[in-house]
Amino acid sequence: MGKPVRVLMIASEVGSFARTGGLGDMVEGLARGLAAAAVEVVVVTPLYGFGVTSVPPDTKRWPFPLRIDRAPKCQLEVVETGVAAGSGSVRVMLLDIPHLYDRKGIYGDEHGLFGDNQIRFAALCRGALAIGDHLWSESDGARTIVHAHDWHSALAPLYARSRPSGAMRASKQLFSIHNLAYQGRFDLHDAAALGLSAEVASGQVVHDGRINFMKSAIVAADRVSTVSATYAREILETANGCGLEHAIASRGDSVAGIENGIDLDLYDPSHDSALAVNYNASNALPQRALCKRALAAEVGLDTQDDGPLFATVSRLTWQKGIDSVIDIAPQIVATGGRILFVGGGDASLSEAILRLVEQYPGRVVGSTEFDDALARRAYAGADFVLMPSRYEPCGLTQQYAMRYGAVPIVTPVGGLLDTVMPYDPGSASGTGIVAASHAPHHLIDACRIAFDLYRDRTAMAGIIARAMARDNSWARSTQEYLALYEQMLSA
């Protein structure tokens, strides 16, 4: 091994600062995992106009503005802060470009997606590379990995290549796909503003007649990865490749699948202050019963008879198969179950959930806004967490559920297949129930197994114990990323 690796991580979401979903958790979790393994890691993300980005007191504002090349008007300042990681810490550089980022949303607001997202995220890439060049010398560059995540940072590999000199030109680029369905597609007329005229002319960044950020990284990065081994295979198929399957296949076996971990400090039922009572594997059964009772009182669930509580903690999108849960809700209720929905998203799904809540008072309850504390109480108090995704690159919810002792009910796709071991009553093994598909009739079959399991106290105690014992830590995945970085640097 040569000199230490250093990593410049670029992402539109970083958990402690701004997040809409798993991407932010993953980026922060990996960055902290790397820092805890003594790797120098710098994360670059925008300073948005909401949330925790009311900048913490220990921040430094870089005294000089950097100019983002080829993008006039973009005079940027960098606010430096950090997040702790074991005995070390992660440096976080917040790009302060008010006219691009000082808004009440990451990708859009109540009026829809922002119309200038291509410029906003191209500026993120350029800004991040400018920071890398500023921090490190050209010779450091040879040991630097630029790790870009999803379409928002997908122009970084191309931009790094086209730099005249400096650390970033000498770096190696890893591009991680978290969700192939969101590709960043824009009009060809944007080519000049994005500094991509030549790449558009050559077709390198074009797909189906549009500029495609995701495709540009898939072809330009030194390596491409995604967040589970199964999703790495699935995206080669037409059904899951979202039109980019050929571009991905052309990378051959250089698309790695590395499963996400979860942050075991931030998600720990023995310390989580959001819970009514804390617990660990040894007292989970009685304490979780208390959590369930407190949750029922909080959200207004019936407690007259004893029945299983099913929860969904999810963005309300087509991907997540929430429509199937809505479909089978009457059957779950008729069988003696209760349902708690946590999470917001598509208006039509929210409305359908609110109709169920009205129709089944005390039996179906829900908050159609995401509420982190309620989500944690759902993991601690629900018996089962439903996650019937149509596709799932990795999925963190099922991992949080298992960590808190709620049994996940999942579909056999992507990271769900890789992280949940199917329950087998015969051999008393498994950590969750795997439905045959997201189709309502398959989901109700899986729920029948859940009802039986719920009535069998020994079996239920067994699956909870196995789910809680699963190793979800970032430590293992961090080592896999480090091995991949080393391969890239020695290639």
Contacts to ligand GLC by CB under 6 A:
21-23, 26, 178-179, 227, 260, 392-396, 415
Q: Name, in order, each residue with C-beta under 8 angstroms of 446's C-beta and a sequence gap of 6 or more.
A: 409, 433, 434, 435, 436
Nearest CA-CA partner of 482 in 140, 161, 178, 225: 225
Q: What share of the chain is helix, strand, coil (3-state, %, to 5)?
A: 45, 20, 35
CA 173 to chain centre: 20
Smallest gap from Cβ 422 to ligand GLC, in A, equals 19
- Beta carbon nearer to ligand GLC, 53 or 260: 260
Q: Are 270 and 279 within 8 A, CB to CB?
A: yes
Burial class (CB in 10 A: 0-12, 13-18, 19+), 383: buried
C-alpha closest to that of 472 among 256, 264, 225: 264
Find the shortest distance in angstroms from Cβ 385 to ligand GLC: 14
Nearer to ligand GLC, 11 or 123 (CB): 11
Shortest reach from residue 29's CB to ligand GLC, in Å: 9
> CB-based contacts of 416: which residues, under 8 Å, 6+ apart?
387, 389, 392, 395, 398, 408, 410, 434
Task: Give me the least distance between CB of 153 and ligand GLC, in Å please.
Answer: 13
Which residue in the shown chain puts its C-beta closest to ligand GLC?
Answer: 22
Nearer to ligand GLC, 30 or 211 (CB): 30
Q: Tell me how far the alpha carbon of residue 346 is from its chain's centroid.
A: 18
Compare residues 23 and 125 and give the one whose CB is closer to ligand GLC.
23
Q: Residue 218 CB, nearest distance to ligand GLC (Å)? A: 17
Smaller CB distance to ligand GLC: residue 89 or 319?
A: 319
**Measured distance CA(114)–CA(126) in Å, rounded:** 19
Cα–Cα distance for residue pair 75/73, rounded to 1 Å: 6
Name the minimum Å distance from CB 23 to ligand GLC: 5
Residue 14 Cβ vs ligand GLC, minimum distance, rounded to whole Å: 12
The residue among 287 and 312 lying less far from ligand GLC, judged by its C-beta, is: 312
The whole-angstrom separation of Cα 77 and Cα 53 is: 14
Terminal Cα-to-Cα distance of the chain (whole angstroms): 13
Measured from the CB atom, is 188 or 239 closer to ligand GLC?
239
Structure tokens at 483: 């091995």
* Phi, psi angle pair for 412, to nearest 5°: -85, 60
Cβ-in-10-Å burial (0-12, 13-18, 19+) of 2 comes to exposed
Q: Which residue type is seen at 401?
A: A
Q: How far is the CB of 435 from ligand GLC (least distance, A)?
A: 17
Cβ proximity to ligand GLC: between 306 and 471 the closer is 471
Nearer to ligand GLC, 152 or 178 (CB): 178
Smallest separation, CB 477 to ligand GLC (Å): 11
Please state, as a whole number, how many other Cβ atoms lie within 10 Å of the Cβ of residue 9.
27
